Amino acid sequence: MDTAVSFGSVTRSFGATLALDDVSFTVPAGQVAALLGPNGAGKTTAISLMLGLIRPDRGQVTVFGRPPRQAAELDGIGAMLQSTTLVSGVTVRELVRLFAAFHPRRRPVDEVLREAGVDEVAHRRVETLSGGYRRRVMLAVALVGDPRLLFLDEPTTGMDALSRQSFWKQIRSLARDGRTAVFATHDLEEAGAVAQRVVVLHRGRIVGDGTPEEIRGRVGERVLRFRVADPPPQGTLEGLAGVVRVERDGAWYRITSRDGDATVRQLIAQGIPVRDLEIAGASMEEAFTRLTKEEGRG
């Protein structure tokens, strides 16, 4: 499989601030990958390096095997950046048509408007749109150059739940067509639900890298959720094998356990009449918390 992005021992500082510290990872072509971390983790710096907007102090960044700026000219790179300001005084269609003129290889404007979900507001001036629609217009601008690789920095900021679902459905569709998408986010569950690969950054260093399932698996905990008509005596659930935490919401209980199998066996052995039992891995938030704590101890 071709490699879309490669970071090799990359370090980048801004004055006394170390933004990225010896970071190495690759993103295969056709993959949706998330750079996950809080503000200040180094996500935007990483994307700026991939776009060739800045250069590393040490190490190497390549895009399709080339320096990022060369790749942008030859391979087609699209970007939807968090800090982008759209031109006022023009309609959505006029704006996208303007950006299409900058690209030697371009897609039909009306096709891109439909794909980004802004065809119904194509006649409206950009400054009259809601925040969610403006983000979609940015996506249309990023797609009109027919990019093989798309960079997205906190792309769903300002979108409602339905708009986010539609947005990510479109990004997954692009990946199925062989394109690559790399997005930066601090939304833990969004990264877990959308990305095929999650690179977890904390204070400029990689503290986790793998599929969402692998990242959650690093925690080594299971979550049991069930309901009980008659609450068991106080302390009963807390005393079960492997139990780390017990939370209650009415008739529903949520148990976090280091050994889910042992916890379930004791639930049954003690005759606790549980209903609607669900067992799942730890959440992305729990995994992230554990990974960053491990990094802090290191």
- Could you give the CA distance from residue 36 to residue 207 in angstroms, rounded to a whole number? 10
Listed range (46-55, 148-157, 212-221, 267-276) with the worst mean pLDDT: 212-221
Give the whole-angstrom CA distance, residue 135 versus residue 167. Answer: 10
Q: How many domains does the chain have?
A: 2
Rounded Cα–Cα distance for residues 44 and 167 (Å): 20
- Same domain for 133 and 10, yes or no, is yes
Domain range for 152:
3-216
pLDDT tens for residues 253-277? 999 888 888 999 999 899 898 999 9
What is the DSSP code (8-state) at residue 57?
A: S
CATH number of the domain where residue 248 is located: 3.30.70
Q: Is the domain of 195 the same as that of 65?
A: yes
pLDDT band per the 50, 70, 90 thresholds, residue 296: low
At 9, which amino acid appears? S
Among 190, 216, 242, the domain boundary falls at 216
For every residue of 69-116, DSSP letters joined together read HHHIIIIIEEEE-TT--PPSSSBHHHHHHHHHTT-SS---HHHHHHHH
Query: Is residue 21 within a helix (H) or strand (E), and if so which, with residue range?
Result: strand 17-28
